[in-house]
Amino acid sequence: GQQGSADPTLARGECRVALDPVTAGKLARHLDSAIADSGDAIVHVESGAGRHAHFDDAAYAEQAGVAIVAEQDIPAARAAADLILCVRTPSESQINDFREGAVIVALMTPYQNPQLIQTLAQRGLTSLCMEFVPRISRAQSMDALSSQAAVAGYHAALLAANESSVFFPMLTTAAGTVRPARVVVVGAGVAGLQAIATAKRLGAQVWAYDIRAAAREQVESLGAKMIDTGVDASGEGGYARELTDEERAQQAEALARHMGDAHVVISTAAIPGRPSPRIISREMVEGMKPGAVLVDLAAEGGGNCELTQPGARVEHGGVTVLGPLDMASSLSVNASEMYAKNLFNLLTPFMKDGELSLDFEDAVLGPMRLTEAGRITHDDVRARAEDAA
Amino acid sequence: GQQGSADPTLARGECRVALDPVTAGKLARHLDSAIADSGDAIVHVESGAGRHAHFDDAAYAEQAGVAIVAEQDIPAARAAADLILCVRTPSESQINDFREGAVIVALMTPYQNPQLIQTLAQRGLTSLCMEFVPRISRAQSMDALSSQAAVAGYHAALLAANESSVFFPMLTTAAGTVRPARVVVVGAGVAGLQAIATAKRLGAQVWAYDIRAAAREQVESLGAKMIDTGVDASGEGGYARELTDEERAQQAEALARHMGDAHVVISTAAIPGRPSPRIISREMVEGMKPGAVLVDLAAEGGGNCELTQPGARVEHGGVTVLGPLDMASSLSVNASEMYAKNLFNLLTPFMKDGELSLDFEDAVLGPMRLTEAGRITHDDVRARAEDAA
């Protein structure tokens, strides 16, 4: 295929931090208000950890019970930690700094990182995978995939509007009226709904495509229209079931028809830990208007579109296909605050008298555990790690 | 000062075209519906002229009375033209292609291009400067500065939201509530009002800064708040008068206070043909929050901010200062359509029986004339050209 051009604004790298200063302070007080009030630190933040999210060391140090760890003291602080909170899985060498039996929590992308998960097991760490928070009501406030997808969906709509050669809103000026842009959002999960809401706020006409008929109510409550494909693919856990070839063709035809009228397409159909489903073919892009923009939010998993190149901009027959990475990360302040609250809500029920005591019989914690006491405890992840070894 | 990094998304180059296909067809029919219906061409569009605005040659050729000029025929078509419609002033060599007595209309930026204006005069062209459409009610539909400023203001708000590390809207999620962003818009002219409207659409809290007290009503009608400086600087023609040092200091102090609370600042105070007023000092940027974004829409005239570098991104103490160029041009489809309508509304009253007959006693056309019959007829522009020679 053709070569896309790498674009630094489409791949900013990780800018989030696992705790913002306010949540760090709340965590310290929750763990032990007596100690926090005495001035002793309970929560230790590595110097510069919040830099890319614009939280400086001083903002953390202001919080009772929170201390900044100077660079030269980081290895010792890591070795002493009982609980390690991260955004992404630490590197091999970082993992080697931690002590046996410590608990580590992160967005682990375990299927993409089998070697690192193996290392976490070998080092005797207990690891919790934030992607595996179950989709049950009680766990909504802990669901980092949802909170981060909301950020990414909002940002995808802004990126699309910023790249578009037409206005999103209707505009009435002395020189005539500009009609609102037509936007198609593929996938009406958390990211898709937030993209829909944002495009609607900006005044666009929005159509949503989702193979789960159950998405209709939410789509319509945002003022968007559902593309009718005549196929229902609702499955377990809020994700979609496998479809027959005929059903797929019927869906593709309905989607292609709406894409041909659209100024902007935003695709958001990502399945955590798996390659993104290929929904948008080269032909469907070739059926779009010259000047149209496609933002593929599933680029991290390879993309929903055949032409997507992760982190790059592809021009194809007058259509621009963007494959942004780290979309949640680029709203680093709010994304970090929301992630920190997810961690706080997840862990504080298991903190008592200054101690962390995890219960893996718990309906939320159980499915999240990847490694403990030297082995990979999660069946699917262990199978993947064994395949990779 | 520090070196900014050039950013291709901040300087896309000219993407507009002076006529979109629909307006080209309307113009042909207006000029002579009999000829247009016969299939003879009246409006000639150079092949590829609409390429960057996503209007292809075929879309023009579909219109009755409009023909595409193949590349090899362009010099002959230029030599034969009675009326030449452009977005920007043509180059020296293009000007030499046109015949004596032809009429040319463009956004001429005459003060920055004294040499080109001299050439237009020497070649005996009659040139009309779109920046000099007077600000009277009758000319609103011809006012390209306004139509293009509306595009630029909308786009500036999107660019700012896209760069911001915080959400513009308030967001209520399972992981807590995100407060709306605080946005300050400097200058409440057409561009500023459109930036305000767009930031409000996205859900931000918006404050506007304008030295003309008369701007208050429009700002408040958009749901934004006016920053109260205690100084009124309303002047003639909708632009601001010169201020005393004391008044300036009082204003700067009020603006700096609001900038210190803002997540985003969008500055839009451009005066056509003059360097942009310096409103935002280095110190004011240094008083902003880490992670804040400043979009300086006045970058083409040097910028409202002391730190702005046209076409580049400057990071200063955690604040990102963007100096975008060609902001109207990047919404190339709508910007071209609006500009084409401005041209149509301006010129068609002077077209009769297939002939163009300009009346420079007219209150709109008179002030727009730069050159005619071998000389620069516009006093200010002539003075500038003589200074430059």
| pLDDT tens digit sequence for A364-383 | 999 999 999 999 999 999 99
B135: chain A residues, CB-CB within 8 Å: none
**Which residue from A198, A290, A332 is facing B165, i.e. has the nearest CB?**
A332
Q: What is the pLDDT of residue B239?
A: 67
- Rounded (10°) angle between helices A332-347 and A21-31: 10
Sign of the Cα torsion B357, B361, B362, B366 reads positive
Q: Which residue of A has its CA nearest to B154?
A: A167
E strand residue ranges, A33-125: 43-46, 66-69, 83-88, 103-107
Which residue in A269, A278, A208, A274 sits closest to A240, CA to CA? A269
The answer to whether A162 contacts B162, with C-beta atoms less than 8 Å apart, is yes
**Which residue from B202, B290, B332 is facing A54, i.e. has the nearest CB?**
B290
- Rounded (10°) angle between helices B21-31 and B332-347: 10
Contact B324, B11 (CB under 8 A): yes
Q: Which residue of B has its CA nearest to A179?
A: B334
Best residue in B167, B315, B332 for a mutation probing chain A (most A CBs within 10 Å): B167
For the stretch A64-95, pLDDT in tens is: 999 999 999 999 999 999 999 999 999 999 99
Q: What is the pLDDT of residue B211?
A: 83
For the stretch B27-46, pLDDT in tens is: 999 988 777 677 788 999 99
- Kindly state the DSSP code that residue B11 receives in the 8-state scheme: B
Residues whose CB falls within 8 Å of the CB of residue B222, separated by 6 or more in sequence, listed in order: B193, B196, B197, B200, B206
Q: Is B311 helix (H, G, I), strand (E, B) or coil?
A: coil
Best residue in B20, B26, B142, B171 for a mutation probing chain A (most A CBs within 10 Å): B171
Edge-to-edge strands of the sheet including B126-129?
A: B83-88, B103-107, B126-129, B369-372, B375-376
Distances, alpha carbon A91 to alpha carbons A111, A145, A373, B11, in Å: 15, 21, 20, 38
Distances, alpha carbon B332 to alpha carbons B8, B155, B172, in Å: 16, 11, 35
The answer to whether B337 contacts A176, with C-beta atoms less than 8 Å apart, is yes
- Rounded (10°) angle between helices A144-163 and A332-347: 170
**Which residue from A154, A159, A289 is facing B167, i.e. has the nearest CB?**
A154
A179: chain B residues, CB-CB within 8 Å: none
Please identify every stretch of chain A with a pLDDT value under 50, giving residue numbers as ranges.
none
> Is residue A140 flagged as an active site residue?
yes
B56: chain A residues, CB-CB within 8 Å: 290
Q: Is B137 helix (H, G, I), strand (E, B) or coil?
A: helix
> Is residue B353 flagged as an active site residue?
no
- Which residues lie across from A240 on neighbouring strands? A234
Tens-binned pLDDT, residue by residue, of chain B (389 aa): 567 888 877 888 899 999 999 999 999 999 887 776 777 889 999 999 999 999 999 999 999 999 999 999 999 999 999 999 999 999 999 999 999 999 999 999 998 889 999 999 999 999 999 999 999 999 999 999 999 999 999 999 999 999 999 999 999 888 889 999 999 999 999 999 999 999 999 999 999 999 888 899 999 999 999 999 888 777 776 666 788 899 889 989 999 999 999 999 999 998 877 889 999 999 999 999 999 999 999 999 999 999 999 999 999 999 999 999 989 888 999 999 999 999 999 999 999 888 899 999 999 999 999 999 999 999 999 998 888 77
For residue B21, the surrounding DSSP H or E stretch is helix B21-31
Q: Which amino acid is at B75?
A: P
Minimum distance, in Å, between the CA of residue B263 and any CA atom of chain A: 11
B141: chain A residues, CB-CB within 8 Å: 174-176
State how far Cα A296 lies from the chain centre.
14
Q: What is the pLDDT of residue A333?
A: 95
> Is residue A111 flagged as an active site residue?
no
The answer to whether A291 contacts B174, with C-beta atoms less than 8 Å apart, is no
Structure tokens given for B297: 């829409």
Give the whole-angstrom CA distance, residue B129 versus residue B133: 8
> Is residue A135 flagged as an active site residue?
yes
Q: Which residue of A has its CA nearest to B330?
A: A165
The answer to whether A56 contacts B290, with C-beta atoms less than 8 Å apart, is yes
Which of these is catalytic: A5, A140, A165, A221?
Answer: A140
> Is residue B146 flagged as an active site residue?
yes
Which residue in B304, B299, B344 sits closest to B130, CA to CA? B344
A333: chain B residues, CB-CB within 8 Å: 165-166, 291
Which of these is catalytic: B63, B127, B146, B267?
Answer: B146
Contact B294, B280 (CB under 8 A): yes
For residue A57, the surrounding DSSP H or E stretch is helix A57-61
Minimum distance, in Å, between the CA of residue A9 and any CA atom of chain B: 9
Query: Could you write out the DSSP letters of every residue in A139-171?
Result: GGGG-HHHHHHHHHHHHHHHHHHHH-SS-SS-E
User: Residue A67 class from Cβ within 10 Å (0-12 exposed, 13-18 middle, 19+ buried)?
Assistant: buried
User: Regarding beta strands B293-296 and B319-322, do their DSSP bridges make them parallel or antiparallel, or are they unpaired?
Assistant: parallel
Q: How many residues would you count in chain B?
A: 389
Minimum distance, in Å, between the CA of residue B345 and any CA atom of chain A: 8
Best residue in A17, A26, A54, A137 for a mutation probing chain B (most B CBs within 10 Å): A54
Best residue in B147, B158, B263 for a mutation probing chain A (most A CBs within 10 Å): B158
The answer to whether B54 contacts A155, with C-beta atoms less than 8 Å apart, is no
